[in-house]
A and B are shown apart, each in its own frame.
Chain A
């Protein structure tokens, strides 16, 4: 058997030359001083690979249309196997890639690894950074929630500031007259086809150039050290300052250790999923305060300091100059020495840039609006309506058989309250005529209300019709439908009713609720014509119609 494997290996090697390729990849000679700091590039590569895998898995379910994008992302989180983790990994993976790219660049700057003849490696790295940021921007729109929509509004408006071609660039980014279906499809195409192709090509070029000149190694090596075995080794004028070693297995093990630690940390952070989806994109919402992801906060903050016509300076000129300065580093810092102590001026300049960006980001972080109160869920509101409107009020009133309910001060635990609701007689036998036992959903709603009231005090005021409607919804509809902004609570057997008022007329909704099968013989929803009173039906229909 071993002989057969060896022969098969020989046969393949003769045809494909895989042994030489493996040796080329694994026996890459590394100069002295290539240590732990040189693992960051590998971490970045691993994070990009993981992002590609999670991206492909997300694309199996994601639908890039305004009608379905938000729903499909929610479906991924709620119904796809490991969907929550998957989206969490992709979401936090983007931040990891930006962090790893920044760390890798800082390593290259501190070690002076960009010096001749490695200028092109540095420039392809900068191009890769821009591609990574373009990935982050285009990916941001895809969930089609409020955060996505408004971040894209700001991005396109910034692009429109470009002198001369600004309007054309903005039109190409938008695809249509407004941000809508045509924007989503082209940003999706950019995110999953154009940018990945560009990324793959640039990574290949970056790695080819790295191998062509060899790893630079510790900063005591001269930049003129072009490593033996590399394509440009002839005419090598530098000397390695210590013993050289092959990439495999020592450096490969270091890479793997750091990759495992970083990916492990990413999984731990992503385990509970990405931040909750916000409500579906709504251009009319005045309450929404757009804020970009943390790695664009510095740029966003910078725009504040350039009013009126100076806007273009903050949006394009300052970032453009910073990028140009970085691109020119190999020509600004020309001496052969790579030691930090010989390059204090250049390192100070880069440090000033990094500190400025960090300070702007911190200022943007400080100025961010307080997280919006997501409001009460329908279940919580319905529970409140049941307490104030329903059977509880028969006894729990001033001068009644029991104290009025002050929800925020109820000290009993959930088990006691549930027991009391399911069997009121149990708590005070014989004292009074017990109300009909509550159903499971009513218990859930009332418990949700009490928990919420304890947590956030005063409930929102509801119109009388809305009290009835939320009570009915929390009692009958919530088992199969969601309707809260952000769809935070409810079942998934029926359609999400967020914005239902914009889709149907009151009459159509009424007919459907009374007898779904009369409207659609295949309807699975039970009929509620006999279960709801006329007032309840009116209130429910009016309330649904108001949900736009």
Chain B
């Protein structure tokens, strides 16, 4: 026969351990369901514009609507990139998303800079921060030009 006091402490230990285990299992389940798996989107090349349509030296906003998986359905969400063509036949692409809080920047030709409407962040035509709170330049986006086909592709 075991001593009642030690049996009691064993039962107390059992109840506490059991409740802790149940709590941990519930937390693990919640974590598994609530933390998204691989929250990254595979990049793909899409046709963005005709090279001949771009005005060299002027950043031009292009709205791309590539279909992408959005949970259980395919969404065609528009996304904007700026294309900047040079006389030499090269093209640079910049994201239109402000690095501060994710608002959509616009090109202000008269001021020769990109401006964000949320907190007046500003970038030069190469995407470098020149004013306001943005912590980083506008992210560059991979772009390639096929002059023969007069096509520009970007990776989004």
A residues adjacent to B (C-beta < 8 A): 66-67, 150, 153-154, 156-158, 168, 171-172, 174-178, 180-182, 185-186, 282-286, 288-290, 303-304, 306-309, 311, 369, 502, 548
Contacts and interface: CB of A to CB of B under 8 A. Distances in A.
Interface stretch (B7-15, B85-93, B100-108): B100-108
Contacts of A176: 36, 39, 70-71
Contact of A286 (B39, B79, B104, B133): B104
B105 to A, nearest CB: 8
Main SS class of interface, B: loop
Given A181-B75, A284-B78, A304-B119, A153 B36 contact: no
Given A154-B118, A311-B100, A168 B35 contact: yes
Contacts of B118: 154, 289-290
Interface string B116-130: 011110000000010
B88 to A, nearest CB: 28
11 contacts: A172-B35, A176-B70, A181-B70, A181-B72, A283-B78, A284-B104, A286-B105, A290-B103, A290-B118, A303-B133, A311-B100
Given A172-B34, A172-B35, A178-B41, 5 more contacts: A178-B70, A283-B77, A290-B103, A304-B119, A309-B135
A284 B80 contact: yes
Contact of A177 (B34, B40, B76, B80): B40
A174 to B, nearest CB: 7
B61 interface: yes
Contacts of A158: 101
Contacts of B78: 282-284, 548
A181 B78 CA distance: 15
A374 B52 CA distance: 34
Contact of B63 (A153, A171, A180, A284): A284
A275 B79 CA distance: 27
Nearest to B132: A307
A185 B36 contact: no
Contacts of B133: 303-304, 306-308, 311
A444 to B, nearest CB: 33
B39 A154 contact: no
Nearest to A284: B78
Given A182-B70, A311-B133, A177 B35 contact: no
B39 A502 contact: no
Nearest to A154: B101
Contact of B134 (A288, A308, A369): A308
B73 interface: yes
Contacts of B68: 177-178
A402 to B, nearest CB: 44
Most chain B C-beta atoms within 10 Å of own C-beta, residue among A176, A185, A311, A548 = A176
Given A290-B118, A308-B134, A311-B133, A153 B101 contact: yes
Interface in B33-82: 34-36, 39-41, 61, 63, 65, 68, 70-73, 75-80
A369 B103 CA distance: 14
A67 B74 CA distance: 11
A548 B76 CA distance: 11
A178 B77 contact: yes
A66 B103 contact: no
B35 A303 contact: no
B65 A308 contact: no
Given A182-B70, A304-B120, A307-B133, A154 B35 contact: no
Contacts of A156: 102
Contacts of B132: 304, 307
B114 to A, nearest CB: 11
Contacts of B120: 304
Contacts of A174: 36, 39
A475 to B, nearest CB: 31
A548 B104 CA distance: 18
A66 B80 contact: no
A284 B134 CA distance: 20
Nearest to A285: B104
Contacts of A181: 70-73, 75
Contacts of B72: 181
A289 B121 CA distance: 13
A439 to B, nearest CB: 37
A308 B135 CA distance: 4
